[in-house]
């Protein structure tokens, strides 16, 4: 955990931040953290689900998921995102993404509202692959 220390040297304010890691250790952790998962099925837990606006201006739900319960401890906690476009001005294209993840989480919604807090902590199984840029992506839900 970072600690903030305020120093005043020669009348000048010098903020000193204790980050608890050397640059070398931080680089190693960062490299390991960005390394993609091998392709395959994973149990994913929803960490967060919040409304956002896509670059196009269209509303969407952004799911933040992390690998859970994996036999390889290095994989547990790895994070990926899953975006679900929401209907907007009569355009419902892409709503299937939301239907897929909600069903995979064992949930449904009634009416036209959805409580995103109800998804946090739920798990699902997803087939994960690596895209051309080296990022993990969710291909489908099991």
pLDDT in tens, 30-57: 776 778 999 999 999 999 999 999 999 9
pTM of the model: 0.78
Other C-beta atoms lying within 10 Å of the C-beta of residue 83: 13
Contacts of 80 (CB under 8 A, 6+ apart): 44, 65, 66, 128, 135, 136, 137, 138
**Options 3.30.300, 2.40.50, 3.10.590, 2.40.330; which CATH number does 36-141 get?**
2.40.50
Longest dimension (CA), the chain: 64
Encode 28-50: b = buried (16+ Cβ within 10 Å), e = exposed: eeeeeeeebbeeeebbbbbbebe
- Per residue in 1-23, pLDDT (tens digit) is 455 555 555 556 667 778 888 89
Domain boundaries, the chain: 36-141
**DSSP-based three-state secondary structure for 96:** helix
Among positive and negative, which fits the CA dihedral 44, 50, 51, 56? negative
Average pLDDT over the chain reads 90
């Amino acid at each position: 955990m970072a600690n903030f220390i305020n120093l005043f040297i020669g009348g000048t304010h010098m903020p000193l931040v204790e980050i608890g890691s050397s640059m070398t250790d931080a680089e190693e952790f960062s490299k390991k953290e960005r390394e993609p998962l091998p392709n395959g099925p994973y149990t994913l837990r929803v960490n967060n689900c919040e409304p956002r606006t896509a670059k196009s201006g269209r509303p969407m739900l952004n799911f933040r998921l992390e690998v859970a319960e994996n036999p390889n401890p290095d994989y547990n906690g790895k994070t990926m995102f899953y975006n679900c476009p929401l209907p907007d001005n009569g355009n419902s294209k892409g709503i299937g993404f939301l239907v897929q993840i909600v069903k995979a989480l064992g949930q449904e919604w009634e009416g036209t509202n959805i409580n995103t807090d109800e998804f946090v902590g739920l798990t699902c199984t997803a087939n994960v692959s690596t895209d051309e840029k080296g990022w993990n992506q969710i291909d489908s839900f099991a």
